Each structure stands twice: as structure tokens, then as C-alpha cells.
Structure 1
Amino acid sequence: MNSLLEVIEVKSINGIYKIFQYDDGNALPKLVIYHVVNGHEVPVKNMYKELKRLNEEFSYGIQYEPTDRIKLNTREFGREFIKRYKGI
């Protein structure tokens, strides 16, 4: 069973996004991203692509395809994005 850890609300030029983090037994939390449209949460189909777009919008410079290893998976990328968004 997944237990909710945290909900992060991201204010973007494209509107509001909500990123839900769940503990599903993996070392990194599971992510589910919703785009809030007219008060309704619409699931984002390609979370990795949306994280890349948000990374560029906020100019965080997260290297999602590092040269010294394979590209970050969605959980790793999400964790890094959330840390920078929250200013940690």
C-alpha cells in the first residue's frame, strides 16, 4: 500500500502543478504529477518530460542526462527538482 508522504504545489507559467510523493517501499518516493486545470487535477501522462520542462522554466540546471552515468530516472529527477524548488 502506498502511503502519502508529501504534496508539493508548483506555480509555473503553465499553471499550477501538484506533485504527490508516496512511500511504496522503494528507496526513493514514487511521484505522481497533476496539472490543475479549472480546479480539477489532471494527471500528467509523461512526468519525466514535464519535469524536464519545469527544470528549464525554473533554470535549476539539473543534469537529467549526466555524462558520467545513465540518465536520471523519474524518481531521482523528481527528488532533485523538489529539493531545489523547496530551497533545500
Structure 2
Amino acid sequence: MQHAPYLKATLEKEPKFELVEVFKTVNFPMAIYSTKHKAIADVPAGAIIGIPNDPSNGARALLMLADKGFIELKDKNASTPVWPL
């Protein structure tokens, strides 16, 4: 089970896959987790933050980090951020 953006990204990379969406699911929220910091305000500038390595979840993570002020995106209206930020 994957969400539609992940399927789309996969099919763009591997067009030989003959996958289709069978039914829709909910889109689960993302969160930032830390064993060092108790609040988002405690995360120092320049901190290293890991994000998912697949295109759709990576894009969601970048949008969330921009929303929280950790990074700045060149195109603030982009639905899918691209490098360079």
C-alpha cells in the first residue's frame, strides 16, 4: 500500500510496472521526532534532519520543514519541491 504520489514517482522511474490505483486511502500526517530535543524551538539552526529517501515522502518532508522554518524553498507555491532549495 502506497499513496498516489509515491506510485506516480515509481511509475515514472519504472514504466514497465503495470500498477494501477485500486482504491484510495487516507494520507497519514508526518511528524518530526527527536531523542535530543523536547520542542521544535529547541532544535538549533544548522541541525541535521533526516528525511525519507523516496521522492513523494521526501517532498512532503521538505514542505513540512519549510512550513516550520527550517529551510526556505525557491518556489514557495510548489507542490513538489526540487533541488536546489
Using the size of structure 2 for normalisation, the TM-score is 0.29
Higher share in strand: 1
Q: Under a length normalisation based on structure 1, what TM-score does the superposition of the two structures give?
A: 0.28
Task: Look at both structures and tell me which one has the larger radius of gyration over its CA atoms.
Answer: 2
